[in-house]
Amino acid sequence: MGLKTLSGITVGKIIVIILLPLLNGCFPPPPPGGVDLTVQNIEITQAIQTTTNIITLVAQRSTAVRVTLGTGGGSVTGVTGLLHVFVNGAEITPVAGLPPINAPITAPASPQRSNENHTLNFELLAPSGITASADVDFLVDITPVPGETNTANNSGQINNLTFVNRTTPTLYFTRINWTPSGLGLPALTDVQAGRGDAFVRGIYPVNDSDPNLYRQGLFPTLTFTEDANGNSILDLNPEGNNLLSFLASCRQLIVDAGLGATDITFLYGWVAGNPIDANGWGQVSGRNAFGNTEHIRHQRTYAHELGHNFGLSHSDGGLIDEVGWDVGARLDGNPAGNNTTGRVRPITLNDIMSPGLLTNQAWVKTANYNFFLGSLALSSTSNGTSADQEDSSERILVIQGIFNPEGDSLLYLEPVFRFPWPSQPTSRRQGGRFAVAVTDETGNVTRTPFDALVADDAGPERHGFFEIMVAVPSDREVVSLRITDAEGARVFGGFDRSQPPEIIITAPATGAQLGDTTRVA
């Protein structure tokens, strides 16, 4: 059975002629000069980066490679490629190459860094396989597309990038039942590794796959009952300061157990819900903090308070200055309530040290990322000591106290003890508004400056809880200590050494026979 013809053309052919223009209208026309894919830029980012890759890169850390393409004039569909990475000349990616995470893409004529799919993206999740080296090369091969005018320029590479080692801090956490709230303990699923620390892993320049980075402390849960004014709000003064003091003592026991050098050991307390005045509190240049478990903010609050522990204040915030990248999309829908999507972090976001933000409103700016890179906690040696710190030793004098918020009155000074385990003394090279002066039996005075600052996640810094560790030779007794201003002109309080208590057992009497239960007096 044949087809009818019209002017020598079959009806079937007429249908094809009519449809072709419609199909062509569904796709962008080729560039005027023809398609010519080229590699315009290769950006290697681990949280934040410049287009020229000047921000230091960390060995074994999760790493993203963003490839910006030239097209020859217009947008080009169906673009993909492969990545090869070499360390000291040896390839660490598959021989066939590593495929993109977002291919195929439509390569635009004018790509924007703030658009996740305007670049061809590759990711090497930690441990990335990139060891510390000054010879790390990245080679990208773009797959030719049909009709491409020149396929000889489809490759690009960047050579001799440097990756450095950074110390992995030991971040411990505990879940706190603050009984006045009636909320009980926070859910472990909200604070466990991979969720509670997702923002921290995203912006802190460490090997984010290290299992020692974040874990439960010796006390998986703690109960805290203080509420001085009965308002069911965890205010800084006094209960917030007292909770920081409680956490500091728990952290010292973690150090005693040999689970981390003191200067790289941090302890964070998670509180159920958000009954906290200002979302959370942490010591500035200290090692202890606590915060809320609200899904919309708790991951960022933790990263923010840890920033205070590292020594940053709210004045170090502002907008981020380079497009950021969340490698592995750690925060994307984790949990759903944080309303965070995608990997790209545009420059409309605020820096982590800007106060009072939600998780989807913040990332990290270049200056603060570089601050973390150069911090003593991350650049220290394996035992937590750097060239700018005191050597760890035994029988460190641990001094804890609380100033009033204005810093003009010492509210409380804890009894002072010398712990029998190795600890890291507080550096005497740092500055501060206050100082502790310790006098030993030879008359030698050791002065250590400090700032008794605590900072929240929403308001101004205030004075409050402090912890200072002072090294006194083990063969010398401490005679006295004084808390003074930095110049030593004003004394806020202190202790003189007391005689060791004498203990006498009055019952049972010498020679008495002990039963199954005996009362000792």
- Considering just the CA atoms, what is the radius of gyration of the chain in Å? 30
Q: Please give the Cα distance from 267 to 401 (Å, whole number).
A: 18
Q: Please give the Cα distance from 377 to 312 (Å, whole number).
A: 13
Backbone dihedral region for residue 118 (phi beyond 0: left; psi -120 to 50: alpha; all else: beta): alpha
pLDDT at position 395 is: 72
- Residue whose structure tokens are 């200072």: 468
Pick from 422, 425, 504: which is nearest to 468 by CA?
Answer: 425
- The answer to whether the CB of 371 falls within 8 A of the CB of 353 is no
pLDDT at position 15 is: 34
Pick from 414, 430, 425: which is nearest to 474 by CA?
Answer: 425
DSSP state of 393: B
Sign of the CA dihedral with 101 first, then 103, 106, and 109 last: positive
Strand partners, 351: 363
- The answer to whether the CB of 229 falls within 8 A of the CB of 235 is yes
pLDDT at position 32 is: 52
Q: Is the peptide bond before 104 cis (omega within 30 degrees of 0)?
A: yes
- Looking at domain 38-164, does it have CATH number 3.90.1580.10? no
Q: Please give the Cα distance from 424 to 391 (Å, whole number).
A: 7
Residue 258: how many other CB atoms lie within 10 Å: 9
Residues in Cβ contact with 176 at an 8 Å cutoff, skipping those fewer than 6 apart = 185, 186, 221, 222, 223, 224, 243, 269, 270, 271, 272, 290
DSSP state of 186: P
Q: Please give the Cα distance from 437 to 480 (Å, whole number).
A: 8
Tell me the backbone φ, ψ of residue 338, rounded to 5 degrees.
Answer: -80, -10
Tell me which of 3.40.50, 3.40.390, 2.40.50, 3.30.1490 is the CATH number of domain 170-379: 3.40.390
- The answer to whether the CB of 199 falls within 8 A of the CB of 41 is no
pTM: 0.87
Q: Please give the Cα distance from 170 to 281 (Å, whole number).
A: 19
Could you please report the per-residue DSSP string of 303-345?
A: HHHHHHHHT--GGG-SB-SS-EE-GGGTTTTSSGGG---SSEE
- The answer to whether the CB of 194 falls within 8 A of the CB of 211 is no
Q: Please give the Cα distance from 400 to 28 (Å, whole number).
A: 69
Strand partners, 172: 215, 267
Q: Please give the Cα distance from 287 to 347 (Å, whole number).
A: 30
User: Which tokens sit at 475?
Assistant: 């063969």
Tell me the backbone φ, ψ of residue 376, rounded to 5 degrees.
Answer: -65, -35
Sign of the CA dihedral with 127 first, then 129, 132, and 135 last: negative
Amino acid in the structure at residue 445? V
Q: Please give the Cα distance from 356 to 57 (Å, whole number).
A: 29
Strand ranges in 117-187 using DSSP code E only, listed in sequence order: 120-124, 133-142, 155-164, 170-178
- The answer to whether the CB of 313 falls within 8 A of the CB of 368 is no
User: Which tokens sit at 101?
Assistant: 């995470």
Amino acid in the structure at residue 277? D
Task: Give CA separation, 349 vs 114, 162, 199, in Å.
Answer: 11, 28, 14
The pLDDT tens digits along the chain (521 residues) read 333 333 333 334 333 333 333 333 344 555 555 899 999 999 999 999 999 999 999 999 999 999 999 999 899 999 999 999 999 999 999 999 999 999 999 999 999 999 999 999 999 999 999 999 999 999 999 999 999 999 999 999 999 999 999 999 999 999 999 999 999 999 999 999 999 999 999 999 999 999 889 999 988 999 999 999 999 999 999 999 999 999 999 998 888 776 665 678 999 999 999 999 999 999 999 999 999 999 999 999 999 999 999 999 998 999 999 999 999 999 999 999 999 999 999 999 999 999 999 999 999 999 999 999 999 888 854 344 443 444 556 678 899 999 999 999 999 999 888 877 777 788 777 778 999 999 999 999 999 999 999 999 987 899 999 999 898 887 888 999 999 999 999 999 999 988 777 888 888 988 888 888 888 89
Per domain, the residue ranges of the chain are 38-164, 170-379, 396-496
Q: Please give the Cα distance from 121 to 101 (Å, whole number).
A: 6
pLDDT at position 47 is: 98
pLDDT at position 27 is: 43
Could you please report the per-residue DSSP string of 79-103?
A: E-EEEEEEETTEE-S-TT-BPPSS-
Could you please report the per-residue DSSP string of 467-495?
A: EEEEE--TTS-EEEEEEEETTS--EEEEE
pLDDT at position 7 is: 35
Long-range contacts, 224-229 (Cβ 8 Å, 24+): 224/176, 224/177, 224/178, 224/179, 225/178, 225/179, 225/180, 226/180, 227/180
Q: Is 111 helix (H, G, I), strand (E, B) or coil?
A: coil
Q: Is 399 helix (H, G, I), strand (E, B) or coil?
A: strand
Residue 97: how many other CB atoms lie within 10 Å: 16
Q: Please give the Cα distance from 211 to 323 (Å, whole number).
A: 28
